[in-house]
Amino acid sequence: MTRTDARPHPGGLADLAGRRVARVGYGAMQLRWAGTDDEPVGVLRRAVELGVDHLDTAEFYGDGVVNRRIRAALAPYDEHLVVVTKVGATPDPGGEHALRLAQKPEELRAQVEDNLRSLGAERLDVVNLRRADVEPGLVAAGDQVVPFDDQLATMTALRDEGKIGAIGLSHVSAEQLRHALGVGVVCVQNAYSLVDRGSEPVLDVCREQGIAWMPYFPLGGGWPGQRQVTDLPAVVEVAGRLGVTPAQVALAWLLAHARETMLIPGTRSVAHLEQNLAAGDVELDAAAMAALEG
C-alpha cells in the first residue's frame, strides 16, 4: 500500500501535521457495526487504493472494534497515511450512549495508550482532544469538568514523550481555539454543514492560522431534530443541474467554502465511498455557490 505519484489525491492536496495529504479522507466511525471484518477491511483498503491518506478514528468507536479493523486492513501503516484519533470519552458498552466522558488528564493518557494498543502503532499521528463544555452531545459534570489548561498540558506532555505526533481539538469554541494556539494545534473537528454553520467563528480562526478544518456531520442530521443537507431545495437543484448527487454537492460546498477544509465522510459501502471521493472533482460555479449560500 505504498503511495506513488500515480495515485489520485481526492479533492487536491493540503497540509496536515507536516504532511501533504488528499483533502478528502475517510471517517471510520461507521465501521463499528457487528459482524465479520471482511466488509470493513475491504472498504478501508479500497479507500487507500483510491487515494485516501488520512483517517479519523477513536478507541471509543465500537469499543475498539474500528481501530482493530483499521489495523487488520492497513498495518503495517504506509508512511504517508495519517491516522487521526480522538480522546475525551471512553467505551461504555452497557451505557445509554455506549460511551461515557473521560476528560480527566489521567483518563486522556489512558485513552492514548488504548489507541496505541488497538491500532498496533508506536505513535499516534494526530490526537484530537474532544471537549464537552456545551451541547449538543454529552456535557461534562462533576469530576468530568476539567480545566482546559490541564488537558492541554497532558496532551503536550504526551507529544513530548513521543506518544503522539500532533495535537488537534474537537467540539471547541473560537475562544478555546485561540487559547490553545500556543500548543501548536494542527486541526479542528467541529460539527459543520450547510444546515449547521454555528462554528463559522472557529473556521475563521482556522483560516487565519492555517489550521486544518475537519467538519463532522457534513451532511447534517447528526443531532436530534437537525435537517439533512441533502433535503435542501437548493442542494437538490444544483445536483440535478450538475448531474451529481446531493451528497456530493454538500461535500463539494465544504471544500469550496474554505481551502482549509479536509473532509472525513464515513460509509460502510465501497460504492458510497467512491461517490464521496468523487465529490472532490465536483466544481461549483458562482451561481451554484450563491444558490447554496443564499
| 0.85 surpassed by pTM | yes
Q: What is the pLDDT of residue 5?
A: 54
Q: DSSP secondary-structure letter at 50?
A: T
Which CATH architecture best describes the domain 13-293? Alpha-Beta Barrel (3.20)
Q: What is the mean pLDDT of residues 185-212?
A: 97
Specify whether 61 is catalytic: yes
How many distinct helices (H) and strands (E) make up the chain?
10, 11
Question: Residue 160: which of 191, 176, 183 has the closest Cα?
Answer: 183
Give the domain ranges of the chain.
13-293
Q: What is the mean pLDDT of residues 262-271?
A: 97
Q: How far apart are CA 104 and CA 161, in angstroms?
A: 19
CA of 237: how far to CAs of 89, 125, 240, 267, 283, in Å? Answer: 40, 40, 5, 24, 15
Q: How far apart are CA 210 and CA 204, in angstroms?
A: 10
Digit-coded pLDDT (tens) for 148-178:
999 999 999 999 999 999 999 999 999 999 9
Digit-coded pLDDT (tens) for 37-51:
999 999 999 999 999
Of these residues, 26, 61, 77, 216, which one is catalytic?
61
